[in-house]
Amino acid sequence: MIRSYTGKKTVGGDSKTVQDALVVESPLAIYINGDPITVTMQTPGNEIELAVGLLIAEGIIKRNNPLPQFQLLEKENLLEIHFEIPDFESNSINQRTLLSISSCGICGKTEWSSPSGLPLPPAHLQFSIESCFDLMSKAQPNFEQSGGLHAAALFDDQGKMICCFEDIGRHNAVDKCVGFQYAQLNPKKLGLITVSGRISYEIIAKCFMAKIPVIAAVSAPSSLAVDFAKEWGIQLFAFCRENRFTQYA
């Protein structure tokens, strides 16, 4: 979602009034069984997918379980999603006691721990990463207008795009893809996710929890992203632009 704002643009000492398209950023509160879990900043739209993807990444919603009941409440300048999860215990997770900002997927946590589990099985993809980025680029209408949005696109193991979402937060776009895929009645086997920005630890962790075996990013990975990609069996490609890429894991 974008909105038009007035600004004064100066070039070479000359100023003029302009109307620019800016990305909307708004808070989303997530509750489970009446307990507040987090407030995350996001671009409005697909809030259910975002919340479900985030809860999968946290291990609260299990990938093979049915979607829990939920209620979406709209309040002044705030959306609330209330999930009903019978077996959930509020003291069983690391609750986020602070605001989770749109640039960081783990901000607000009181302590840090990494997911555990067996490495993902090797993926053998028979399609080009470049073609996937071409498809993602065509599915970013709001970025074309504002230049202020990230995107993530999820592909099956045959290279067909399952979904693509834009958001002010890189990790939010990934969560929306994961949440969308979870809600499908006939989920396809996952092959690859493309991301428009850099890759840091939290995106690797989200993909591990969602069982996405390959990640490709336009920009650089962090050292921790590479370390955990190797540990979790995730193939990691970065600097995917201008017909080139670097594989780190």
In a domain, 124, yes or no: no
Distance between CA atoms of residues 138 and 194, nearest Å: 13
Q: What percent of the chain has pLDDT over 70?
A: 87
Domain that holds residue 155: 129-247
Q: How many distinct structural domains can be found in the chain?
A: 1
What are φ and ψ of residue 104, in 5° steps? -145, 125
Higher pLDDT, 97 or 152: 152
Q: What six digits make up the tokens of 183?
A: 């809600």
Q: Count Cβ atoms within 10 A of the Cβ of residue 33 and give its class: 0-12 exposed, 13-18 middle, 19 or more buried.
A: middle
Separation between Cα atoms, residue 64 and residue 53, nearest integer Å:
13
* pLDDT tens, position by position, 81-104: 999 998 887 655 655 544 455 556
The answer to the question of residue 156 being in a domain is yes
Inside any domain, residue 209: yes
Residue 88 falls within a domain, yes or no?
no
Q: Work out the mean pLDDT of the chain and round it to a whole number.
A: 87
DSSP, residue by residue, 113-158: -----PPPPPP---S-HHHHHHHHHHT-HHHHHHS--EEEEEEETT
Provide the CATH number for the domain around residue 149: 3.40.140.10
Say if 64 falls within a structural domain: no
The closest of 229, 238, 163, 244 to 196, measured between CA atoms, is 238
Q: Where are the alpha helices (DSSP H) in the chain?
A: 47-57, 129-138, 141-146, 170-182, 201-210, 223-232
Secondary structure class of 241 (helix, strand, coil)? strand
- With beta carbons less than 8 A apart as the criterion, state whether 82 and 71 touch: yes
Question: Which pLDDT does position 134 carry in this prediction?
Answer: 93
Residue 70 lies in a domain: no
Using alpha carbons only, how large is the chain's radius of gyration in Å? 19
Q: What percent of the chain has pLDDT over 90?
A: 60
Q: How many residues does the chain have?
A: 249
104 is catalytic: yes
C-alpha to C-alpha distance for 14 and 155, rounded to whole angstroms: 47
> Which sign does the torsion angle of CA 128, 134, 139, 145 carry?
positive
Task: Tell me, yes or no, whether 93 lies in a domain.
Answer: no
- Of the residues 104, 132, 177, 240, only one is catalytic, namely 104
Cut 0.85: pTM above it: yes
CA angle 127, 181, 119 (to 5 degrees): 65
Whether residue 139 contacts residue 164, with contact meaning beta carbons closer than 8 Å, is answered with yes
| pLDDT exceeds 70 at position 64 | yes
Cα separation of the two ends of the chain: 35
Tell me whether residue 92 is in a domain: no
Mean pLDDT across 132-155: 85
